[in-house]
Structure 1
Amino acid sequence: MPIDPSVAIGADVGTREFSWSASDVLLYHLGVGAGSRPGDNLSPDALRYTLDGPGLQVLPSFGVVVPTFHDTDPPPLDLPGCELNLAQVVHGAQSISVSAPLPTSGTATLSTRISEIWDKGKAAVIWQEGVARSPSGEELWTVRSSMFVKGEGGWGGDRGSSEKVELPDRAPDADTSYDVTPQQALLYRLCGDRNPLHADPAFAATAGFPVPILHGLCSYGIVLRELTDTLLGGDASAVAGFSGRFAGVVFPGETIRVQGWRDDGRIVASAAIAGGDRDGSPVLADVVLTLA
């Protein structure tokens, strides 16, 4: 079968060394919509994302993408024990936890393994976990991600857990929105994700979409930035971790509405499409921002 859990679970996916610069940070922030509102080019708060220098800060979500930031090929799927193709794979969930604010430049290594594989019957969920360390061995951040693989599963394996994040039954502490630009996916793909699903109309059609869709990790970064700006005073160093489940797609040109609640020392949130025929369609669910 295309997925052999006996081979895949626990397998070492490899260790990768990578480096980044302030220019990479700036491009990533622009890719997730920083600096896009009127007046942001003059705002000291907004310029913390978009102007290099001593005031530049780094959204923790940058740590998810920086290991592959300079890749120009579509993401490989050569996982041990797994025979997959891009058309059957979608991003399921993502989390990152940071040990300290990320530096604006540096070098690190990421060691990744397949931690779990869930059998959903008509699909499989593959979980990977990676730890980034400095050249001296200091742990910098940990990432966990899942891939939802359509057409796999059914071998009688563990179905996995389903932990829903309950949202408070009251008005949100933040209710904001971001207008995704028509070229957003074309810009964000320069951050190392050249999956044709997000740029090639013909490929998107083979995956069942009418047009290319926005990268899930772009939506992820947009939501984190909006929550940081509205509930943390724009201070990225106040974020210790961020997690969410990809609940639906975003088409370039749509608007993402983000609602957030302060909840027992953390922030919980949801993101959905606002306006148009798909008003209310979920984008990111089970969102949790942990505080430093």
Structure 2
Amino acid sequence: AEHVPVRADLLGAASGVALRTWEPADAVAYAAGIGATRDEGPPSTLITLLAQFDVEFPAALGPWAFARVLHAEQSHTTYAPVPLRGRLSIRTRVSDLRDLPAGVIVGISADAVDGDDGTLVARTRMGLFLRGDRTGVTGMSTGFQLPERPADQVVVQLTRADQAERYARCGDDNPLHLDESAARASGQPRPILHGLCTYGFAGRAVVQVLCPGRPGELAAMTARFTAPVLPGDELRTEVWRSVDGAVFRTSSERGLAVIGTARLR
């Protein structure tokens, strides 16, 4: 597939405004996609509905050979409640670039504002790793310091064999997660779980420890993906409480999968 390398002058490139609408059924589909059950609180506030929106990449980027692209980092902050039904105007931009020894991290940030009154509802950032690309930009890495003491609580969750298909119903049908040949082309033994799905499972675990049944109290989360999760894997999330939230580490039977922080309102 054609691949246009990332360049340093793409920093700041922005998309147009994309309008995203959703109904209660979309919130329910998202909750099912991340394994949530009815007793965990309103599905509209499970992490953030923004996670399911197909953000529009700035036109200056790409095209990319997706076999060279990995979802490496994710964060979100919510500033206002996300209702069960609504519409948001979303604009994305290349917010940061960071060369690594084997490639480059491209940070793509999105601001979502209420389509009616212009209130900032949420801000998200996705860090994509492009294998083999170089920009000459050295940025700050996202560091997470885990406490040396044992975790305050450990949450064990089982993903389903069809978890990727369930999450794909939220609108993310990347073949890496659904197609055997696409997964093998990316160096995976079989389709892997969406990074945002694993992010959702980790967020659910953090909510279970910090504010059970009240996911709307989770204001922000930042994570780095360190290894893929396969559908059907058991996830084990260790949570250490902090002054304003928690530090967490999620592992599967293949080892460390996600490490990150969470902040309460």
Tell me how far 1:151 sits from its aligned partner: 1.6
Task: State yes or no: 1:3 paired with 2:3.
Answer: no
Task: State yes or no: 1:269 paired with 2:248.
Answer: yes
Tell me how far 1:57 sits from its aligned partner: 4.6
Which residue does 1:147 correspond to in 2? Answer: 128
Q: Structure 1: how far apart are the matches of 2:262 and 2:129?
A: 23
Tell me how far 1:184 sits from its aligned partner: 0.4
Q: Which of 46, 56, 63 is 1:59 aligned to? A: 46
Counterpart secondary structure, 2:236: strand
Which residue does 1:52 correspond to in 2? Answer: none
Q: Which of 211, 229, 232 is 1:253 aligned to? A: 232
Tell me how far 1:171 sits from its aligned partner: 2.2
Q: Which of 24, 30, 33 is 2:32 aligned to? A: 30
The answer (yes or no) to whether the contact 1:58–1:102 under 8 Å persists in 2 is yes
CA RMSD of aligned residues (A): 1.8
Counterpart secondary structure, 2:106: strand
Task: State yes or no: 1:166 paired with 2:157.
Answer: no
Q: Which of 20, 23, 28 is 1:21 aligned to? A: 23
Counterpart secondary structure, 2:19: strand
Relative distance call for 1:33 and 1:26 in structure 2 (3 A) is same
Relative distance call for 1:208 and 1:78 in structure 2 (3 A) is farther
Relative distance call for 1:255 and 1:264 in structure 2 (3 A) is same
Counterpart secondary structure, 1:187: helix
Q: Structure 1: how far apart are the matches of 2:61 and 2:165?
A: 32
Deviation sequence 1:48-71 (CA, Å, 0-9, x none): 34xxxxxx5521332222x32xxx
Which residue does 1:289 correspond to in 2? Answer: 262
Deviation sequence 1:238-264 (CA, Å, 0-9, x none): 111111011110011111100111111
Q: Structure 1: how far apart are the matches of 2:211 and 2:61?
A: 42
TM-score between both structures, scaled by the size of structure 2:
0.92
Q: Structure 1: how far apart are the matches of 2:149 and 2:93?
A: 40
The answer (yes or no) to whether the contact 1:20–1:105 under 8 Å persists in 2 is yes
| Larger mean Cα displacement after TM superposition, 160-169 or 14-23 | 160-169
Structure 2 residue runs of 5 or longer lacking an equivalent are none
Tell me how far 1:138 sits from its aligned partner: 0.8
The answer (yes or no) to whether the contact 2:80–2:120 under 8 Å persists in 1 is no
The answer (yes or no) to whether the contact 1:108–1:134 under 8 Å persists in 2 is yes
Tell me how far 1:4 sits from its aligned partner: 2.3
Which residue does 2:109 correspond to in 1? Answer: 129
TM-score between both structures, scaled by the size of structure 1:
0.84
Relative distance call for 1:79 and 1:256 in structure 2 (3 A) is farther
Q: Structure 1: how far apart are the matches of 2:109 and 2:99?
A: 18
Counterpart secondary structure, 1:230: helix
The answer (yes or no) to whether the contact 1:77–1:86 under 8 Å persists in 2 is no
Quick one: which amino acid aligns to residue 235 of structure 1? R
Structure 1 residue runs of 5 or longer lacking an equivalent are 50-55, 69-74
User: What is the correspondence of 1:189-268 to structure 2 with a 5 Å cutoff?
Assistant: 189-268=168-247
Tell me how far 1:100 sits from its aligned partner: 2.1
Tell me how far 1:77 sits from its aligned partner: 6.5
Counterpart secondary structure, 2:32: helix
Is the radius of gyration larger for structure 1 or structure 2?
A: 1
Q: Structure 1: how far apart are the matches of 2:250 and 2:202?
A: 7
Counterpart secondary structure, 2:70: strand
Quick one: which amino acid aligns to residue 128 of structure 2? M
Matched residues, number: 261
